[in-house]
Chain A
Amino acid sequence: MKNSKILWLFGLVLVLSAFLAACGGGDDTDTGTETTETEGTEGNGGEPDSVQELNLIQSAEIPTMDVSMAEDAVAFEILNNVNEGLFRLNEENIAEPALAEGEPEVSEDGLTYTFKLRDANWSDGTPITANDFVFAWQRAIDPDTGSPYGPYMMAGTIKNATEVSEGSMEVSELGITAEDDNTLVVELERPTPYFMSLMAFGTFYPLNEEFVTEQGGDYASNSETILYNGPFTLTNWDGTGLTWTMEKNAEYWDAETVQLDAVNVDVVKETSTAVNLYQSGEKDRVGLSGEFALQYAEDPEVLREQEPVLFYLKFNQERDGEETAMANENIRKALATGFNKQSLVDVVLANGSLPANYLVPTEFAFNEAGEDFREINGDMLGFNADEAKTYWEQGLEEIGETEVTLELLGGDTELAGKMDAYLKDQLETNLEGLTVNLKAVPFGVRLELDEAQDYDIQNSGWGPDFQDPMTFLDLFVTGSSHNLMSYSNEEFDTLIEQAKGELAQDAEGRWEAMAQAEKLLIEEDAAIAPIYQRGIMSLQKPYVNNIVKHPFGGDYSYKWAYISGKE
């Protein structure tokens, strides 16, 4: 029997050593610790190679390539590269004319836009006409289509969109008409200063009526049943697979700008696998999450990008018909200033996120002079343990309690769990007499609880749908379907109303009104407590140049990207 014990031990050692070897394996890859810290590899900017192929990884399948049905990041990103609308976000993330020939003619009241189309073709050579836009927009708003983003993007902006989507008007009543093949007239419900950036969004892309009708139910079911009009065309996509290619579109009007011949994409859901593919040289770029972000933080090939996605705590002021402790302003302010955001992003998130003392993200919305909206309001109500304590004591006195127990509702992912545990610890330490109970649920459940307003504090987030502070601010007007925390401030509502109405054509006044509204919401009312603005980390090979990251719509553009120095 002694023999067998030794063998057992031997076996165990064998298993353990193999396991440890693999765990430690990543270390010998990052030998670049002594290089100076950089913001990341931005490419080497050299002469383009003769082989122009980019190999990428996507984290999820394409759910649909039908512009009317798209509602997720993957679909919008690919649509942004294989199709095009009237406008496109350029390398500086400013919307510039694409299928539109120059800026549109805008009526004095700001309600009618007349676009001239440039001469451009679909990938099968047929010309793109104004009717292609009319058909696509009507299709997206038609309730029979069941488009999620059609009504979402058009309602309240394009004339009659709400009525058409509810079925009380014919689709032909939608505010879009083709005057002739090259002239498109769009009528708006109200003046919309950010209308150009909307025109860069996937939902507003054109569709070739004849082709779509001919394909019927098969339209966009695989890469052969779609017409393209963007920098690339999609190939090798079978509709459900984990692989596809984007090839340079010879028919694209600006084809001479496009340098890449092919972008080969594979879906890899496991980060460790993605990193291995990057290390083996099969892939040129890989997103890092969780422990991989920590492990490669010092790698010379690491790339940090800011996203305009903001996470914040929602303070519910009324639950089950009764006021909560957070109906008190001082309690809210105490909670908002009672946790350290800097250590949260440094230690807990560790993925390049920024601590946020604001709602409208930085590097997202700019005025006509190119100034960031953030420069007006700056930081508001940051972490301050002493102030938090004062607010807290005052608040407790006002509501006549000495102890408060609150439920913090959050996501069930590993990251969300870590973050909420940190928040609980911080708040309970800084605010005496506070007990925070964590409730971690899947995304779908959180939405249901949000809708029923059945929570005390909620860890929530928002990403923009158009390039304007309004996409964040109007979430919190009284009665909004995203407010759901009984926050109501007449002054705030008025400011938002003005920015949408009478100030719509007064760029400066409007900007000012929105800045004031943000200040009210965050600093004076502490209706919500911003936590952080999301950052993402990736590894990118030094020979990859000019992949452009966008703040909304499709996340990336490959139109300007090229390979240099790979050979």
Chain B
Amino acid sequence: MARYIGKRLIYMFITLALIATFTFFLMKVLPGSPIASADKLSPEQRAVVEARYGLDQPLPVQYFNYMFGLLQGDLGISINQFKGADVTDVILSRMGPSAQIGFQGMVLGTFLGILFGMVAALRQNTWVDYTSTIVAIIGISIPSFVFASLLQYWFGLKWDLFPVALWKDGFMSSVLPSIALAMFPLATAARFIRTEMIEVLGSDYITLAKAKGASGSEIAFKHAFRNALIPLVTVLGPMAVSILTGSLVVEQIFAIPGIGEQFVKSIMVNDFSIIMGTTMFFSVFLIAIILIVDILYGVIDPRIRLSGGKN
């Protein structure tokens, strides 16, 4: 196991280096200048500003400088989004709210999704099943900006149950955005669990368990549920990353100081160091989650072996 993880870590490192290289050059191909007032300045005046941020050097030099900084954990300073601010500080200051609503949304969504999926599978082709399917379809098909706007309009403005927007009232501020974010994992989990449960419930060993006299709940939880979890874990990993690192749309609608909305702004204004820093941060997160998911497989289903078999 330790050897397996070690090997994976080396691969992780190589992947990250490739991502950094790729993003770096891709970003430089992006049209536009990171100087906000570029349309006003003369070419000479622009050159002075570019020199200040090392943008006047040849691309390979800029690349090696960046990679060298990255090795030392230095993500550089923001060029125009938050002029002169340390990129690491920017990411850290924006992570908290994103992580909070992401985590709450994820937990709420997955929990309800599993519940709906299980109930639907156990009561297949009854109204319970149909209702939960409809909820799942709605969750998948309504774009989050519509759902978030609806929540804001009714629960915030009309019924005054929660703050309309802004990040000022602690937990209360996080309720509506979390619910908006929960819809997608809820729908996904419900669909996966239902399909898998139905399949597992029809298999021979369940029939055997029934024949042996196991109770309904025992079959559902001990035998069926655990097997149904495997495909869910696969999709939950990457989904967790995208949700935890912030949903641009939900953050923007609820005016939450999160990382998602800040990332998009950095691309719009060509703030190279912030684009790079945030991409690297997302990548590390994603790769780490994938590793954790792979390890989890082994825990949930002993049949899946991670390291080469030594039978």
Contact = CB atoms under 8 A, between A and B. Distances in A.
Interface of A: 3-4, 7-8, 10-11, 15, 18-19, 22, 25, 60-61, 63-64, 66, 69, 71-72, 143-149, 151-152, 155, 165-166, 217, 221, 238-243, 266-270, 272-273, 276-277, 279-280, 282, 441-445, 447-448, 465, 481
Contact of A280 (B82, B94, B157, B270): B157
Contacts of A25: 153, 158
A445 B31 contact: yes
A72 B271 CA distance: 15
Contact of A270 (B82, B94, B156, B253): B253
Contacts of B51: 143, 146
A444 B33 contact: yes
A69 B84 contact: yes
Nearest to A6: B130
Contacts of A61: 81-82, 265
B31 A444 contact: yes
B150 interface: yes
B36 A71 contact: yes
Given A69-B83, A282-B164, A145 B33 contact: no
Nearest to B145: A270
Interface in B79-137: 80-85, 89-90, 93-94, 127, 130-131, 134, 137
A279 B156 CA distance: 11
A151 B47 CA distance: 11
Contact of B164 (A19, A280, A444): A280
Interface string B125-166: 001001100100110001000100110111011101000111
Q: Which of A10, A72, A238, A239 has the most CB atoms of chain B within a 10 A radius of its CB?
A: A239
Q: Which 6 pairs across A and B sit closest by C-beta, in order of nearness? A: A444-B32, A146-B52, A64-B83, A11-B134, A445-B31, A71-B37
B48 A72 contact: no
A277 B53 CA distance: 39
Determine the interface band of chain B, counting residues with CB < 8 A from chain A. Answer: 35 or more
A394 B45 CA distance: 43
Interface in B41-98: 41-46, 48-49, 51-53, 80-85, 89-90, 93-94
Interface stretch (B1-9, B197-205, B254-262): B254-262
B40 A152 contact: yes
Contacts of B255: 242, 266-270, 273
Contacts of A445: 31-32
Contact of A239 (B33, B82, B154): B82
A148 B137 contact: no
B38 interface: yes
A26 to B, nearest CB: 9
Contacts of A19: 146, 150
B177 to A, nearest CB: 12
B167 interface: yes
Contacts of B253: 270, 272-273
B21 interface: no
Contacts of B81: 61, 63
A19 B141 CA distance: 13
B158 to A, nearest CB: 8
A146 B261 CA distance: 27
B252 interface: yes
9 contacts: A148-B41, A151-B41, A240-B90, A243-B166, A268-B165, A273-B254, A276-B164, A280-B164, A443-B32
A19 B220 CA distance: 37
A147 B51 CA distance: 11
Given A64-B84, A242-B257, A270-B253, A280 B41 contact: no
A447 B32 contact: yes
Contacts of B40: 152, 465
B84 A149 contact: no
B280 interface: no
Contact of A238 (B42, B93, B150, B156): B93
A277 B165 contact: yes
B289 interface: no
B17 to A, nearest CB: 28
A221 B261 CA distance: 21
Contacts of A146: 48-49, 51-53
A444 B94 CA distance: 26
B79 to A, nearest CB: 10
Contact of A277 (B44, B89, B166): B166
A242 B167 contact: yes
Nearest to A242: B257
Given A146-B53, A277-B166, 4 more contacts: A151-B48, A240-B85, A266-B166, A273-B165
Nearest to B135: A11
A155 B166 CA distance: 42
Contact of A22 (B39, B52, B84, B153): B153
A22 B48 CA distance: 51
Interface in B163-198: 164-168
A11 B132 CA distance: 11
A442 B150 contact: no
Given A241-B257, A242-B167, A447-B32, A272 B149 contact: yes
A143 B166 contact: no
Contacts of A272: 149, 253
A481 B153 contact: no
B219 interface: no
Given A19-B150, A242-B167, A155 B53 contact: no
Nearest to B93: A240
A56 to B, nearest CB: 13
Contacts of B52: 143-146
B206 interface: no
Contacts of B156: 276, 280
A63 B83 CA distance: 6
Nearest to B150: A22
Nearest to A11: B134
A212 to B, nearest CB: 13
Contacts of A240: 82, 85, 89-90, 93-94, 257, 262
Contact of A151 (B45, B82, B149): B45
Nearest to A451: B43
Interface string B6-46: 00000000000000000000000011110111111111111
Contacts of B153: 22, 25, 276
Contacts of B168: 243
Contacts of A270: 252-253, 255
B41 A22 contact: no
Contacts of A447: 32-33, 38-39
Most buried by A among B89, B94, B130: B130
Contacts of B89: 239-240
B143 to A, nearest CB: 11
Contact of A269 (B93, B127, B154, B252): B252
Nearest to B152: A276
A79 B304 CA distance: 62
Contacts of B82: 61, 63-64, 239-240
Contacts of A155: 45
Contact of A279 (B41, B94, B157, B256): B157
B149 A7 contact: no
Between A19, A143, A444, the greatest number of chain B beta carbons within 10 A of the residue's beta carbon is seen for: A444
B166 A22 contact: no
Which residue among B36, B46, B51 has the maximum number of chain A CB atoms within 10 Å of its CB?
B36
A148 B40 CA distance: 9
Contact of B85 (A4, A239, A282, A441): A239
B45 A152 contact: yes
A458 B82 CA distance: 31
Scoring B31, B94, B154 by chain A CB atoms within 10 A of each residue's CB, the highest score goes to B31
